[in-house]
Structures are given as structure tokens and as C-alpha cells.
């Protein structure tokens, strides 16, 4: 049978675009459809604009530190509209770059919703296209829990980038990395921040030392963390949003601006896909795939957040390129999910690769060795600022291999990226010890811990 395309991609986020371009490089005829903006969540309403806001939030601390080095810094003012406009202008610029990249790769771009008519046919409005292979890369979306009365008054991480007035007091619901990051961003920019979490600590799933250190420093910076919340309700009043929470200590009411940020999780964006017209299986709300990203329909594949495996932009890109290399490049590739580094752009920043201490102890038992260091970086000594860095190595004592590396502190992501290469290659503690440190630097602590 003759098809319109060798590969058709549904979703032009990071994973979908990477796959389309890689397949086209191998000579495949490729089409891609997107109903929203090119680049997906990361570029438009996620990691890129968020990181720009993180940079903006760090200037007050830099102004404070400058005085310790002899600089006189005058009165500073922050203009929210200037920042938001600049951030969104950069997003617009990146959208244009993605369009040019797809055009250069000769990938045909369709605007609209791609919906399966059958397992080889996609409808985009009134138009229909066919493809030999189809890749689902539709990503995910934030969700607001229906169990919270009044949750319709809250915005999500999608809308925060278009808020035109800076919140005076914002309440953030959720203790995941998105909630924690925006709590730090808004506090750094001058807003009062209350973060409401159901657990004892933020960042469930990360190493316990990382969780404790970040939460402690966030509270030291003035963020009000209300933990162990059993119930909550939101009411819109003339004074703003009234959030009533119930804890063991009793009830407490917080009144915030008309903005409350729900950062309570994400789920795959599978609506309007027409998956019921295919043999693709959906399990726990996500597209079910095997280790090669193949669905139950042998010629349909899926990558990225819609599969709900490891929901990180670089993972989606790597999954997509592995698929393209295998099916169009003649190089059989399989995505490896061990030792994937990640970062949390809170203040302080954190980054991690490998196992947490709890995971390591479950896997290796009493053979686990922990190396930990906490110190004040040199940068903060002259301004006498009590900012700490935490570093931690987890070692399998049976083999001396580093099985986990964790850091809280300035440039954690930049430092752990290099450490991740060593962990991925199976470096031992002896290898770290034999490495000469760069002095004076925080990073050298990873090769001097005893």
C-alpha cells in the first residue's frame, strides 16, 4: 500500500520535533501536526520560560552579596510586566526557530488536532493523511484536583507566564518540583508565598537529605510552608482568594490575591486522539509502550510524557531519536532509563543522578556507604550570608561504585551534569578520589569527600 508519509508525528513538542527531524535526516518523508505552538510545554509554558524567571528571581540575592565585596548598590525596583514581556518575546523567538528547523529538514507541518480515523489514517480538520508509521508525542498537561472545592479559581503552571500583574501574596498548592520552583521564583521576585502540601516535606521521591535541605532553606528565605494538610477549600471573596486548610493543629485561613497556583501534577494529553480507532492500549491514563516505544499496534509508537515513564524533556528527545535511528537509520537503539540526571530549579538549586539513599539501601542493604558534606561556599563569606551547599555520594560498598550523587547549592545542575557522565560510566569512589579537584570551587568537594 502507498502512504502519504513514511512517518507522521502527532505532537510538535521537544520529542516529536526531534524525532521528525532525525527521521527526515535519514531520508524519510515526514509530516507533523500540532494544535498549539511548536516546541510543546518545555519551550512555551515550562522549563524555558520558567528558567528565565528563575534568573530574574536571583538578582536580589546578588545585590545583597555585592555589598560584601565593596559595591554600593542603589535602590532597585522590579517591574513584572517588563520581565513577563521579555520572557514571552523569547518564547516567540524560539517558536520561529523551530519552524525554520522543520522547514530546513523538509518536514511538512500541519496546524490543528491530529485524530486517528484508523490505525494508518490521521484526520486534521477536513484533511486526511496516511502514514506507514505513526508516532504519538502529544505530551502532558497540568491537572487541577476536583476534590478541592473552589479549585476552578486557581490557575496552573500554563497560565502563570501570562499573568499581567505580580501577585502580592500567592498560595501554591502542591509540593512537587513545579510547585517548589514557582514558590522560590515568586518569593525571589518579591511576592509573599505560602506553599500548601499534604505531606511532611516537599519533593516526594527525591533523596531525603535533598528534600529536607531545600525545604529548610526555602523557609529561611521566608516562604511559608504549610505541611501535613488534610483538607482544603478555596473561596473567592472581595478581598481575594480565601484558602481554608485543615491540619492536625486545626483550621487555618490564608487570604491571597486573586491568583492561586495549582501545581498538583500532570497527566498525558490523550483527549481527541481517536485512540479507540486503533489497537493502541491505554493503561493508567497513559499510552502503553514497550522498551522500544512500540504500542500494541505494531506500526504506532509513542514517546515523551504521554507514556508517563520519565517525564523530562531530554528523555522525550532521546526516546524519539532512538526510535528514528532504529526505524529509519538502520541503527538499533534502545533508550536506557538508568542514571538519568535531573535538576530542581528552586532556590537553592538542586540536582541529582542515580539512586536515593533509601533506594540504595533497599537494593544493596548494609553495603551502602554514604559520603556527605555541607558547607558555606566561598562566595557567601565576605557578605556573611548563611547560604549552605550540600553534597552527597552514595556508594555500593561491594563494588565501590558510585550509585547516586546529589547536590543542593549554586550551579548544582551544571556540576551534576558532569558527575552524571562518571556515574553512567560506572565510576568508583576510588576513581573520584584519584581525580584532582579544581580549587577553589564547590565542585571539588565531590572528589575530596572522605
132-158: pLDDT as tens digits: 999 999 999 999 999 999 999 999 999
Q: Give the per-residue pLDDT at 404.
A: 98
Whether residue 155 is found in the same domain as residue 194: yes
Whether residue 218 is found in the same domain as residue 361: no
Look up residue 300 and give its three cell numbers: 504506532
Last residue of a domain, one of 264, 281, 312: 264
d(Cα 220, Cα 281) in Å, to the nearest integer?
47
Q: How many CA atoms lie within 13 A of 276 on its CB side?
A: 2
**Is residue 258 pLDDT above 90, yes or no?**
no
Which tens digit of pLDDT belongs to each residue from 374-386?
999 999 999 999 9
Q: How far apart are the first and last CA of the chain?
A: 65
Question: Which residues, other chains included, contact 392 with Cβ-Cβ below 8 Å and sequence gap of 6+?
Answer: 207, 209, 210, 357, 370, 371, 372, 373, 404, 405, 406, 407
Residue 228 lies in a domain: yes
Whether residue 134 is found in the same domain as residue 282: yes
Residue 157 lies in a domain: yes
* Residue 120 is among the residues annotated as catalytic for this protein: no
Whether residue 27 is found in the same domain as residue 164: no
**Is residue 269 pLDDT above 90, yes or no?**
yes
**Is residue 65 pLDDT above 90, yes or no?**
yes
Residues in the chain: 450
pTM over 0.85: yes
Residue 334 lies in a domain: no
Whether residue 16 is found in the same domain as residue 135: yes
Question: Which residues, other chains included, contact 185 with Cβ-Cβ below 8 Å and sequence gap of 6+?
Answer: 50, 53, 54, 56, 57, 347
Residue 337 lies in a domain: no
**Backbone torsions φ then ψ of 385, nearest 5 degrees:** -100, 135
Whether residue 10 is found in the same domain as residue 80: yes
Residue 333 lies in a domain: no
Whether residue 320 is found in the same domain as residue 346: no
Last residue of a domain, one of 209, 231, 264: 264
Whether residue 135 is found in the same domain as residue 161: no
pLDDT, average across residues 69-75:
94
Whether residue 104 is found in the same domain as residue 197: no
Residue 89 lies in a domain: yes
Whether residue 240 is found in the same domain as residue 375: no
58, 113, 120, 439: the active-site residue = 439
Residue 21 lies in a domain: yes
Where do the DSSP E strands lie in 248-355?
A: 250-256, 260-262, 266-268, 282-283, 286-287, 300-302, 342-344, 350-354
Residue 177's domain comprises: 151-264
Last residue of a domain, one of 264, 287, 319: 264
Residue 180 lies in a domain: yes
pLDDT, average across residues 18-43:
97
Whether residue 271 is found in the same domain as residue 122: yes
Q: For the chain, what is the domain count?
A: 3
Whether residue 303 is found in the same domain as residue 396: no
Nearest to 135 by CA among 27, 23, 37: 23
| CATH code, 367 | 3.30.390.30
Which H or E run includes 117?
Answer: strand 114-118
Amino acid at each position: 500500500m502507498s502512504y502519504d508519509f513514511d512517518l507522521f508525528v502527532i505532537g510538535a513538542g521537544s520529542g516529536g520535533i526531534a524525532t521528525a527531524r532525525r527521521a527526515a535526516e535519514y531520508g524519510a518523508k515526514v509530516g507533523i501536526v500540532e494544535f498549539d505552538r511548536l516546541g510543546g510545554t518545555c519551550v512555551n509554558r515550562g522549563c524555558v520560560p520558567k528558567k528565565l524567571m528563575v534568573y530574574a528571581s536571583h538578582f536580589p540575592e546578588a545585590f545583597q552579596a555585592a555589598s560584601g565585596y565593596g559595591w554600593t548598590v542603589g535602590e532597585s525596583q522590579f517591574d513584572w510586566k517588563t520581565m513577563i514581556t521579555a520572557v514571552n518575546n523569547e518564547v516567540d523567538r524560539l517558536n520561529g526557530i523551530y519552524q525554520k528547523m522543520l522547514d530546513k529538514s523538509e518536514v511538512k507541518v500541519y496546524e490543528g488536532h491530529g485524530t486517528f480515523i484508523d490505525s494508518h489514517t490521521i484526520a486534521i480538520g477536513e484533511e486526511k493523511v496516511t502514514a506507514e508509521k505513526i508516532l504519538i508525542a502529544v505530551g502532558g498537561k497540568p491537572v487541577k484536583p476536583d476534590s478541592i472545592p473552589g479549585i476552578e479559581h486557581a490557575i496552573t503552571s500554563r497560565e502563570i507566564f501570562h499573568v499581567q500583574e505580580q501577585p502580592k501574596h500567592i498560595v501554591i498548592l502542591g509540593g512537587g518540583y513545579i510547585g517548589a520552583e514557582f514558590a522560590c521564583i515568586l518569593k525571589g521576585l518579591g511576592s509573599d508565598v505560602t506553599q500548601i502540601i499534604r505531606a511532611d516535606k516537599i519533593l516526594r521521591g527525591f533523596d531525603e537529605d535533598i528534600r529536607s535541605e531545600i525545604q529548610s532553606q526555602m523557609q529561611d528565605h521566608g516562604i511559608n510552608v504549610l505541611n501535613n494538610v488534610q483538607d482544603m477549600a478555596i473561596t473567592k471573596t472581595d478581598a481575594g482568594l480565601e484558602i481554608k486548610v485543615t491540619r492536625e493543629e486545626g483550621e487555618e485561613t490564608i487570604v491571597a490575591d486573586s491568583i492561586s497556583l495549582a501545581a498538583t501534577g500532570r497527566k498525558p494529553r490523550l483527549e481527541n486522539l481517536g485512540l479507540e480507532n486503533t489497537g493502541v492500549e491505554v493503561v493508567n491514563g497513559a499510552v502503553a509502550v514497550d522498551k522500544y516505544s512500540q504500542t500494541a499496534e505494531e506500526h504506532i509508537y509513542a514517546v515523551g510524557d504521554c507514556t508517563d515513564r520519565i517525564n523530562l524533556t531530554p528523555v522525550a528527545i532521546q526516546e524519539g531519536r532512538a526510535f528514528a535511528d532504529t526505524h529509519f537509520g538502520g541503527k538499533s537503539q534502545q533508550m536506557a532509563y538508568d542514571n538519568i540526571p535531573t535538576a530542581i530549579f528552586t532556590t537553592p538549586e538542586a540536582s541529582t543522578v542515580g539512586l536515593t539513599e533509601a533506594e540504595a539501601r533497599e537494593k544493596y542493604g548494609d553495603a551502602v556507604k554514604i559520603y556527605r558534606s555541607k558547607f558555606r561556599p566561598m562566595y557567601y563569606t565576605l557578605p556573611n550570608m548563611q547560604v549552605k551547599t550540600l553534597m552527597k555520594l552514595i556508594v555500593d560498598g561491594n563494588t565501590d561504585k558510585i550509585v547516586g550523587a546529589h547536590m543542593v547549592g549554586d550551579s548544582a545542575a551544571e556540576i551534576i551534569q558532569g558527575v552524571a557522565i562518571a556515574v553512567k560510566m560506572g565510576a568508583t569512589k576510588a576513581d573520584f578520589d584519584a581525580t584532582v579537584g579544581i580549587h577553589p570551587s564547590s565542585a571539588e568537594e565531590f572528589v575530596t569527600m572522605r
